[in-house]
Amino acid sequence: MNDPRHDHDLPAALRMQLRTLRTPEPPARELWPDIAARLPSQPRAAAEPAPRRRPRLLPALSAAAVLALALGLGWQLRPSSPEPAQAPPLAARPAPARAAPLVVVADAMTREYNGALREVPAPRPTAPGYRSLLELDASAAAVRDALAQDPDAVFLLQRLQHIHARRLALTRQLASA
Amino acid sequence: MLIATMSASQDESGAATDVDQALARASAGGDMAAFEALYRRHAGRVHGVILRLVGHQHSRAEDLTQEAFVRAWQALPGFRFESAVGTWLHRLAANTALMELRSRRGGPAIDSGEDALEGIGSGDTAGHRTALSMDLQQAVDSLPPRARAVLVLYDIEGWTHEEIATALDMAIGSSKAQLHRARRLLRARLGDSA
């Protein structure tokens, strides 16, 4: 915030009027195609190492972000499987052009989920609990449909993360039985 | 139902921040779809601050907006998430415009004095207005570039003189002097009616 001591040479009304000029002004023409065309050839900064202590960051993250991080970490640390990969029951849906942000996040999350699932041996359809897998798949599909209808609903993203986590855990449980 | 718990505006604000962070993290990993979503969420603010800094020269503002997002793409892998993504993008956008302003410092006398006011750094409709008919935005646009930059950053965007001095590579005293001059010119352009 700037210093009110420097405001004596400007009437308060004019100062307030100036503040009202701070408004978003979308570009008149579509800039994204030109930006996108330039991105692949751009050098990028090296990734920052994770700070050892970030106490102020965690409270600011909602359950959605925390769950995403936790789920991602869980998949990163998953045990390697001796079995060949299994085709996932849920195919990642490609993001449509100009997809809503949560849909883009859901797509990225689903791709990670499918990658993790491929590492787990496929349970047999006759295995106890297999029906629960199908129900979870149906629930995930329903949530994705709902997210497509309401692309700003963070709770749907959280729900999808929860279903993916349960589906993955149950698949591993059945595979090791 | 879960939806009943998500209605408060602070939740919406927090959710927006979380979405930005998730998109920024995915973008940092190379996900262009996520970066496009980030662009669409922030293009208005980014373009807005650049547009104000360049005096509503639309073509120039669009070029600089592109440049700002390309720079954001380059820098995102190193972003430490110590500030909000939107704040970081806004600052990066302003710095992109200011960098161009600094690069023009050695050019023609674009900001040498009050006599330079007429027709310099003004918007697309320059020359079609009189001082008396100017609205506030047009009056700001008509200021000399460096004076305008300081006034926009201080009086519109809320930066401090320390931040402005750093961004414009000038002494803090120079920032204060430029602000004083810009305000005086602005009031004169408005016919001192404000």
- Residues B91, B122, single domain; the answer is no
Tokens of A151: 């692309």
How confident is the model at residue B38, as a pLDDT?
95
* Interchain pair A31, B19: CB under 8 A: no
Nearest CA-CA partner of B153 in B45, B6, B52: B52
- Residues B151, B166, single domain; the answer is yes
Residue A57 has pLDDT above 70, yes or no: no
Highest mean pLDDT among A48-62, A108-122, A158-172: A158-172
pTM, to two decimals: 0.61
* Interchain pair B39, A2: CB under 8 A: no
The CATH number assigned to the domain holding B37 equals: 1.10.1740.10
How confident is the model at residue A7, as a pLDDT?
62
B126 found inside a domain = yes
Q: pLDDT digits over B54-108, tens only? A: 999 999 999 999 999 999 999 999 998 989 999 999 999 999 999 988 877 654 4
- Chain A residues within an 8 Å CB radius of B82: 57
B3 found inside a domain = no
Residues 6+ apart with CB under 8 A from A157: A64, A102, A105, A106, A109, A147
The answer to whether the beta carbons of residues B179 and B121 sit under 8 Å apart is no
A164 found inside a domain = yes
Nearest CA-CA partner of B185 in B81, B133, B123, B113: B113
Q: State the Cα–Cα distance between residues A54 and A58, nearest whole angstrom.
A: 7
- Min CA distance, A119 vs chain B (Å)? 22
Residue A134 has pLDDT above 50, yes or no: yes
Q: State the Cα–Cα distance between residues A94 and B82, nearest whole angstrom.
A: 31
Burial A44-75 (b: 16+ CB within 10 A, else e): eeeeeeeeeeeeeeeeebbbbbebbeebbeeb
B142 found inside a domain = yes
Q: State the Cα–Cα distance between residues B86 and B91, nearest whole angstrom.
A: 9
- Residues B115, B75, single domain; the answer is no
Last residue of one domain, picked from the residues B57, B84, B103: B103
- Min CA distance, B75 vs chain A (Å)? 5
* Interchain pair B155, A18: CB under 8 A: yes
* Interchain pair A61, B18: CB under 8 A: yes
* Interchain pair B28, A155: CB under 8 A: no
Residues 6+ apart with CB under 8 A from A10: A18, B155, B183, B187
- Residues B99, B124, single domain; the answer is no
- Residues B97, B115, single domain; the answer is no
- Chain A residues within an 8 Å CB radius of B62: 27-29, 31
- Min CA distance, A153 vs chain B (Å)? 8
* Interchain pair B35, A25: CB under 8 A: no
Tokens 């073509």, located at residue: B59
Burial A9-20 (b: 16+ CB within 10 A, else e): ebeeebeebbee
The CATH number assigned to the domain holding B145 equals: 1.10.10.10
A78 found inside a domain = no
Q: Closest to B32 (Cβ–Cβ): which among A19, A36, A98?
A: A36
Tokens of B179: 């602000």
% residues pLDDT > 90 (chain A): 15
How confident is the model at residue A111, as a pLDDT?
78
Nearest CA-CA partner of A109 in A81, A136, A69, A79: A69
How confident is the model at residue A141, as a pLDDT?
85
The answer to whether the beta carbons of residues B85 and B21 sit under 8 Å apart is yes
Q: State the Cα–Cα distance between residues A105 and A95, nearest whole angstrom.
A: 9
Tokens of B38: 């980030």
Nearest CA-CA partner of A113 in A44, A161, A59, A171: A161
Q: What is the average per-residue pLDDT within A88-116?
A: 67
Q: Closest to B6 (Cβ–Cβ): which among A21, A46, A154?
A: A154
The answer to whether the beta carbons of residues B64 and B54 sit under 8 Å apart is yes
* Interchain pair A101, B19: CB under 8 A: yes
Choose from B162, B183, B192, B193 for mutation: most chain A CBs within 10 A: B183
The answer to whether the beta carbons of residues B33 and A111 sit under 8 Å apart is no
The answer to whether the beta carbons of residues A122 and A129 sit under 8 Å apart is no
3-state secondary structure of A155: helix
Choose from B6, B18, B41 for mutation: most chain A CBs within 10 A: B18
Q: State the Cα–Cα distance between residues A152 and A99, nearest whole angstrom.
A: 11
A170 found inside a domain = yes
DSSP per residue over A64-118, as a string? HHHHHHHHHHHHHTPPP-SSPP---SSPPPPPPTT--HHHHHHHHHHHHHHHHHH
List Cα–Cα distances, B49 to A46, A51, A148, in angstroms.
Answer: 28, 31, 32
The answer to whether the beta carbons of residues A104 and B37 sit under 8 Å apart is yes
Q: What's the domain range around B163?
A: 110-194
3-state secondary structure of A129: coil
Run means of pLDDT, 10 residues per run, chain B, 194 residues:
42 71 92 94 97 96 97 94 93 94 59 40 43 75 94 96 91 94 93 61
Give how many domains chain A has, as a whole number. Answer: 1
Q: What's the domain range around A164?
A: 101-115+126-177
